[in-house]
Amino acid sequence: MKKIAIFASGSGSNFQAIVDAIQGGQLAAEVSLLVCDRPGAFVLERAERYSIPTISVAPKNYPSKLEYELDILKELRAREIDFIVLAGYMRLIGTTLLNEFEGRIVNIHPSLLPAFPGKDAIGQAITAKVQVSGVTIHFVDEGMDTGPIIEQREIPLTEDETKETLQKKIHHIEHQLYPETLQRLFTTLK
Ligand code: GAR
């Protein structure tokens, strides 16, 4: 059974979907740790509800990214984490974690990458007036949403699509696709 650490910065609806899938028997994994870089984020409350251990680390309290990630790494090693799952973690992963978890960090992004990387991918898609956007799950490398793609799902946009309506559609897909894809990954990558 894979021991995963979820990294999140915000509301944590994807964190919730993963926990629900584990509890419902669709995903064989254990969420052994939540790493949150935004003290006060709602995802911390969600983790508390399930007694999932959390660390809340504010990068501004560290002299460098190296020291920030070394602190996280200490916790990941202590809990023998196998896999890192980014779920709305709005920060680039540095070499400290990339080297230790090579090929074992995945991310979900609300667009059809390589279109609309970075922040506010949903807003970018609305502004560009595309007819189709979607969701991508990919391995993480040092770039911004650039690693090898594992899974993508298209979502058609209506003519009157807004950021809010698209976000709702995207979340709906993400909450099914992320647990499903993780389960497939964990059974193939022994
Ligand atoms: C998700 O839609 C995820 O795809 C996106 O943040 C949202 C987090 O929502 N991630 C990125 O934009 C990463 N570049 P959540 O906190 O409700 O899971």
Active site (annotated) includes residue 109: yes
The ligand 1 atom nearest the CA atom of 107: 13
> What value does the mean pLDDT take over residues 3-14?
98
Q: What is the pTM of this model?
A: 0.96
pLDDT tens for each residue of 173-186: 999 999 999 999 99
Residues with CB under 6 A from ligand 1: 8, 10-14, 87-88, 108-110, 121, 145, 170, 174
The values of phi and psi at residue 75, to 5°, are: -70, -40
Q: How far is CA 108 from CA 54, 118, 143, 146, in A?
A: 20, 12, 14, 11
Predicted confidence (pLDDT) at residue 91 exceeds the cutoff of 80: yes
* Whether complex ipTM tops 0.95: yes
**pLDDT bracket for residue 190 (50, 70, 90):** low
What is the DSSP code (8-state) at residue 79? T
The atom of ligand 1 lying closest to the CA of 13 is 17
- Locate tokens 């460098």: which residue? 64
Domain at 2-112+135-154+175-188: CATH code = 3.40.50.170
- The Å distance, Cα 93 to ligand 1 centre, comes to 15
Residues near 177 by Cβ (< 8 Å), separated by ≥ 6? 108, 135, 137, 151, 153
For the chain, give the mean pLDDT: 97
CB contact at 8 A, 182 and 82: no
